[in-house]
Homo-oligomer: A and B are copies of this chain.
């Protein structure tokens, strides 16, 4: 995916480990539960990502001295380092245009609890305009098409457009809620220091 996508996985891993140390298998399950229908990470990307994060010093292996280990089974539990926490804050704050793409948005959203209100709003609005752009381009492309499309293709289009429109409406509601909340208590920081 040309570089930009690894960031999403990094965010997902760092965000998960921020709450509690985990090992690979558990991390994957947790991530896939957290993201539900939106995304499913595979080992083929997860393990390389963990190695990379380890090399960057953003995560570290936890000492197996803890009684946490059930049998004598080999298990590598990772925890966030101080640098990792900084990096996480950075990723959460500097959410750019990539944050409103399909693959990234869900991950960012899943960690909104740790995100500043201002950034939350920026991501939601960015996502919305991204979807609206797409709606426009598909609609104009459709209008420009001379030949008549068969009923199946039309039905596919209709359903596709409808579900995106629905997501836009969902975003509108979320944005309205965010706005209302920030008007009510502008200084309220949902995050501050959780856990």
Known A-B contacts A163-B163, A166-B163; A153 and B37 likewise in contact (beta carbons under 8 Å): no
Interface range for A: 35 or more
CB distance from A179 to the nearest CB of B (A): 16
CB distance from A119 to the nearest CB of B (A): 13
| 0/1 interface trace, chain A 119-153, chain B, CB 8 Å (1 if under) | 00000000000000011001001100100011111
With the chains together, A160 CA to B37 CA distance in Å?
A: 5
* Contact for A152 among B38, B113, B149, B152, CB less than 8 A: B113
Q: How many copies does the complex hold?
A: 2
With the chains together, A174 CA to B113 CA distance in Å?
A: 39
Residues of B within 8 A of A35 (CB): 156
Chain A contact residues, CB within 8 Å of chain B = 29, 32-38, 106, 109-113, 134-135, 138, 141-142, 145, 149-153, 155-157, 159-161, 163-164, 166-167, 170, 174
**27 A–B contacts, CB within 8 A, in A order:** A32-B141, A33-B138, A33-B141, A33-B142, A33-B145, A34-B153, A35-B156, A36-B156, A36-B157, A36-B160, A36-B161, A37-B135, A37-B160, A37-B161, A38-B156, A106-B156, A106-B160, A109-B156, A110-B156, A111-B152, A112-B152, A113-B150, A113-B153, A155-B174, A163-B163, A163-B166, A166-B166
Task: List 9 additional A-B contacts (Cβ < 8 Å) besides A36-B157, A109-B152.
Answer: A36-B138, A36-B142, A36-B160, A37-B138, A37-B161, A109-B156, A111-B152, A113-B151, A163-B166
